C-alpha cells in the first residue's frame, strides 16, 4: 500500500527530512501557533472594546419596537416551555398527544427560533461574564 513512498528517495526526503521535510514544516507550524501574553492581552482588549461598543450601541433600546421585540421573545420562550411541559405531562395519559407536543417542541423552526432568541438575549451577557472571569 505504501510502495510509492519507498520507491523514490526524493519522496521520502520531501516528507521525512528532519530539517526541511513536510512533517517538520507542519510540526513547526503547529508548534509556533501559540499566543504570547501580549497577543492574548491585545485580543482581550479588542474583545472588551467590541463588547463595550455593543452595549453603548444598544443602550437606547427602549423604543416601542425594541420593547415589542422583547415581549415577543419572552412570550415565545414561555410557549416553548409550555410545549416541553405538555410533552412530559401528557405522556402517562395520552402518549400519542405527548408525541405531538414533543415533535412540535423539537421541530427545526421552533428550535431554531429558541436558539436565536437565546443567543441574542444571553450571548452578550455570557461574553462579558467570560471576560470578567478570565481576568480574575
Report yes or no: 105 and 115 within 8 Å, Cβ to Cβ: no
Q: What is the pLDDT, as a whole number, of residue 19?
A: 65
Helix (H, G, I), strand (E, B), or coil: what is residue 115? helix
Question: Is 110 or 54 the better-scoring residue by pLDDT?
Answer: 110
**What is the share, in percent, of the chain residues with pLDDT greater than 70?**
69
Residues 127, 51 contacting (CB under 8 angstroms): yes
| Predicted pLDDT at 49 | 84
Report how far apart, in Å, the C-alpha atoms of 71 and of each of 78, 96, 107, 136 are: 11, 32, 22, 35
For residue range 36-92, what is the model confidence (pLDDT) as tens digits? 778 777 877 888 888 787 777 666 666 777 788 888 989 999 999 999 999 999 999
- What percent of the chain is predicted at pLDDT more than 90? 25
User: Domain extents for the chain?
Assistant: 61-136
Residue 35: helix, strand or coil by DSSP? coil
**Under 8 Å CB-to-CB from 90, ≥6 apart: which residues?**
97, 98, 101
Give the pLDDT of residue 32. Answer: 56
Q: Is the pLDDT of residue 12 over 60?
A: no
pLDDT band, residue 95 (cuts 50/70/90): very high
In angstroms, the CA 12 to CA 80 distance is 60
How many angstroms separate the CA atoms of 8 and 16, rounded? 12
The per-residue DSSP string of 2-13 comes to -HHHHH-HHHHH
Amino acid at each position: 500500500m505504501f510502495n510509492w513512498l519507498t520507491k523514490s528517495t526524493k519522496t521520502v526526503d520531501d516528507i521525512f527530512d528532519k530539517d526541511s521535510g513536510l512533517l517538520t514544516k507542519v510540526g513547526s507550524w503547529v508548534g509556533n501557533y501559540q499566543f504570547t501574553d501580549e497577543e492574548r492581552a491585545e485580543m482581550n482588549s479588542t474583545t472588551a472594546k467590541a463588547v463595550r461598543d455593543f452595549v453603548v450601541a444598544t443602550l437606547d433600546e427602549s423604543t416601542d419596537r425594541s420593547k415589542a421585540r422583547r415581549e415577543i421573545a419572552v412570550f415565545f420562550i414561555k410557549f416553548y416551555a409550555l410545549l416541553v411541559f405538555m410533552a412530559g405531562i401528557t405522556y402517562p395519559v395520552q402518549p400519542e398527544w405527548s408525541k405531538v407536543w414533543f415533535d412540535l417542541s423539537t421541530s427545526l423552526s421552533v428550535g431554531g427560533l429558541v436558539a436565536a432568541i437565546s443567543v441574542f438575549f444571553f450571548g452578550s451577557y455570557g461574553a462579558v461574564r467570560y471576560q470578567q472571569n478570565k481576568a480574575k
